[in-house]
Amino acid sequence: MRYQGKVTRWNEDRGFGFISPNGSRNLVFIHIRAFINTPQRPVLNELVNYELSDEQNGRARAENVTFASDDALDGASTRRWPFRVIMTAVLFIFVAVSAAGIIYLNNSGRFPVCLGQTGNVLKNILNAVHF
């Protein structure tokens, strides 16, 4: 049987924490190896789904843990992409489009005159690298 709860404690360095099950005060032990099909790490107050098993000392332990947001779409992740990944992609696209525009304008002989001395420097650089 699968249960749902929130990650209420998490020790990132040691890879374990505790879940507060919905409708219960008893904490359930969780280890990073209990997560299946995801390289993502849990964060505090994140909803997870899990199966219960008992440890030898009688403590409840979570097994086969998945993120509740992943289960909602049959395994398709709805977790947000990290901000750095998105900004890196945006920056890469901006630089690529800018470079393509400069190369096009340089090759067509219509490099902007309004750039003044900067335009001449860019033209010299582009001509030096044979674009």
Which residue ranges does the chain devote to CATH 2.40.50.140?
2-72
Which has more confidence, 59 or 126?
Answer: 59
For residue range 31-90, list pLDDT tens digits in order.
999 998 777 888 899 999 999 988 778 889 999 999 887 765 554 444 566 788 888 999
Q: Which of 5-14, 93-102, 112-121 has the highest mean pLDDT?
A: 5-14
Predicted confidence at residue 27, as pLDDT, reads 92
CA 16 to CA 34: how far, in whole Å? 10
- Write down the pTM of the prediction: 0.51
Predicted confidence at residue 47, as pLDDT, reads 93
Class of domain 2-72: mainly beta
Print burial letters for 88-126: b (CB count within 10 Å at least 16), e (below 16).
eeeeeeeeeeeeeebeebbeeeebeeeeeeebeebeeeb
